[in-house]
Each structure stands twice: as structure tokens, then as C-alpha cells.
Structure 1
Amino acid sequence: MSNYPTLYILRHGETEWNLANRLQGHFDSRLTETGRAQAAAQNAILRRCNLSGFSALSSPQGRALITAQIALDGLGIDLATDAQLAEIGIGAWAGESREALLRQTPAARDSYDLYEHAPEGEGFAALYQRCRAFLDSLTGPHVLVTHGITSRMLRLILLGRDLAVLRDMQGGQGVVFHLEGGQQKRLTL
């Protein structure tokens, strides 16, 4: 495990496709009103943190970028985008219903497994490599705004855990994960 800088990691707020139980991957869906409220809650959480010297990076995907703009509003932190923070690629399954795909994919025990079995998808091993390279490139403390699976992968690497436990990593919208010194704290209102 490398000596990584202090990070705050946020997942985007709820989207229309989250609500409809559709996979998004590299496709995009608008934030719901609940999603905007979750991003505002992240803003309130970050306001309680000492962000002096922090930079902010967001996935360029609309749902993450809008969340970042709301979550960072008024905090005086410059925001840039980085494609390495995009959600795991799910190839031909982007936009599809989780339930329909589960019926068609006997190898998938649950919707989590769909990310690994997606035709032309990125897969967990490739996402691990992408996230590891991204983290290794960071030179200072950051607020990162990303997606559900990518957030879990980043935090798994930061905590020095094995890829086999990715499924067990906490998630959540409207929360902030603080990672420092190989430790994680889940911050809520």
C-alpha cells in the first residue's frame, strides 16, 4: 500500500436510472430531486471539514459533475475533471434493466455480478488497474466525486484490501468517505 494523500470520496446523487434500476456505466442519466438533495447534504458535510490545500476532481460524466458542482458550492475549491474517475464500463449493457439482465445471465448471482459479466465491459481487474494508476498519480489532498463501483474500488485500494472483498465495501449516496492513513470514516449529516 502506497502512502496516499488525504482524500474525501463522494458518489454522485441519485439519478433517474438509479430509481428505475437501470445500469448506467458510461451512459448518463439526470439527477433526481433526491439526488440534488443528497449532493447538498454532501456540501453540508464538507463544510464541516478542513479543506485547506485541497483540490477537487470529478468524473466528467454528467451525474458526477453536477453532484460535484453542488457539493463543492461555496467551498472555494477549484474543480477539474478526470476521465479515470468515470464509472466502470459495462459495454453493451449500459442503459439496460438490471432485472432483465439477471434473467438472461445465469452466471450472475446478483446485479453486482453484472459488472463483471457485461459483454465488452471493463471488468473489475481493469477497473482496479485504472483506479490504482489514478491514485498513484495524485500529489496532494483531494475531494473526488465519482460513481458507485469506482468509489468502492478506489477505497478498496486505499485501504489495502483484496479485490475479492469489493462487493462488501460500503456505498451510499449523500455521504462522504474520508480516507487518511489507511483508515476510512463514513461522514453523514
Structure 2
Amino acid sequence: MRLELIRHGQTDWNLNDKLQGSSDIPLNETGRAQALEAAGLLADAEWSAIVSSPLGRARETARIIADTLGIELGDAYDELIERDYASHEGRTPESPIPDEPNADYPDIEPRESVARRGLEALETIRDTRLPLDGDDAHIVVVCHGTIIRFVLSEILGREVPHIENAAANTLEWDGTAWHVLSINGGVVDTDID
């Protein structure tokens, strides 16, 4: 089974470096164009399903991809919602966002919670789609940058870079574990310790 984790297209809050988190901010015109570009990158493969986070920016990105590829838009998974930045949503960060709550960011969702939710979502998608589509299933999963980054980092056991809007990040399930094949469209070097 292969998953393409796609970060949603750009929003006005992305453009202005505001924290979105669980706030439901729509795509802007650039984001819609990015979703079409992502669909173009995915056009050469056969996809079993397209699923997403329920937040509007992810759902619209998924809908644009699904419509472009002629595939029915599938389920939305609450576990794929972006990290909750609580009282900081809608603000431009004045300092780097920490992995864990601290004095500057006391109410943000802890990293472990975000990664756990993301991995649980992947397991649910896997367990739902494997019986329907078999081991050759190819699923597009549209969600959010921080949750993708934390999940990929957890799987790899090392930090991964910022996830770009509408970038593809490839995971493969070998029957026992997930393997990261690409990040932001680039091949992952699995020999790095």
C-alpha cells in the first residue's frame, strides 16, 4: 500500500505567516492553483481513493485533486486535523514554535499528541482501504504541514524539513511497517543515521 500525503494549498494565513492550526481557513487562488499542480503530479498513477482532513483548506484541495483525476472524493478523518495552536491561531509567531508547550506557548497541542493522531489516522486508512483495494492500494491523503512533518519524523526517527504547500510525501506500507520514500517530492536518503 502506498500513501501520498499532500499538504493543502496556500491560504491567506499561510501567505501572511499566521498560525492556522485547527482554524478553518479557506484556500486562496494560489492554493487552488497549487492543488491543480498537485493533481498534475499525481496524474500518472492509478489512485484507489482520495481522503482528507475535514478542515476546508484540506477538503477543497482534495476535491480539486479528485475532480481533476476523475476520482470520487472519499472520507474525511478528524485525526488528520492540524496541530491545535490554541490562543496563537491567527497570530504571526514572534519566536520559533516549540515541540512542547512552554512559557511562550502554554496551550499548544504537544508534539506527541499530533504525531499519535496522525499515525492513528494512517492506521485507520490502511485498515479501511486494504480490504477494499488490496496491497496495491494507492491513496491520496490531503492534510496539513505540521501533522505530516511530525508523522514522517516519527516514522524516520529524525527531523524532517518544513512541508511545502501542495507537496507530495510518499509512504509505503510493507505489511509490517511504514517507510518514507519521499519528502516534498524528493527521494529520502534512508542511510542517514
Q: Contact between 1:56 and 1:77, CA under 8 Å: does it hold in 2?
A: yes
Aligned-residue sequence identity (percent) comes to 28
**What is residue 119 of structure 2 aligned with on the other side?**
132
1:63 aligns with 2:57: yes
Q: Contact between 2:62 and 2:73, CA under 8 Å: does it hold in 1?
A: no
Match of 1:9 among 5, 23, 28: 5
* Structure ranking higher in helix proportion: 1
The alpha carbon displacement at 1:57 in A equals 1.5
1:152 aligns with 2:144: no
RMSD: 2.1
Unpaired segments ≥5 residues, structure 2: 131-136, 187-193
Q: What TM-score do the two structures reach when normalised by structure 1?
A: 0.78
Q: Contact between 1:6 and 1:179, CA under 8 Å: does it hold in 2?
A: yes
Q: Contact between 2:83 and 2:146, CA under 8 Å: does it hold in 1?
A: yes
- Return closer, same or farther for 1:21/1:47 CA change in 2, 3 Å cut-off: same
Q: Contact between 2:101 and 2:107, CA under 8 Å: does it hold in 1?
A: no
User: What is the CA–CA distance in structure 1 between the aligned matches of 2:140 and 2:46, rounded to whole Å?
Assistant: 11
Match of 2:39 among 37, 43, 46: 43
Q: Greater RCO between the two (CA within 8 Å, min separation 6)?
A: 1
**What is residue 172 of structure 1 aligned with on the other side?**
164
Unpaired segments ≥5 residues, structure 1: 103-109
The alpha carbon displacement at 1:161 in A equals 2.1
58-67 or 127-136, larger mean C-alpha shift: 127-136
- State the AA in 2 paired with 1:23: L
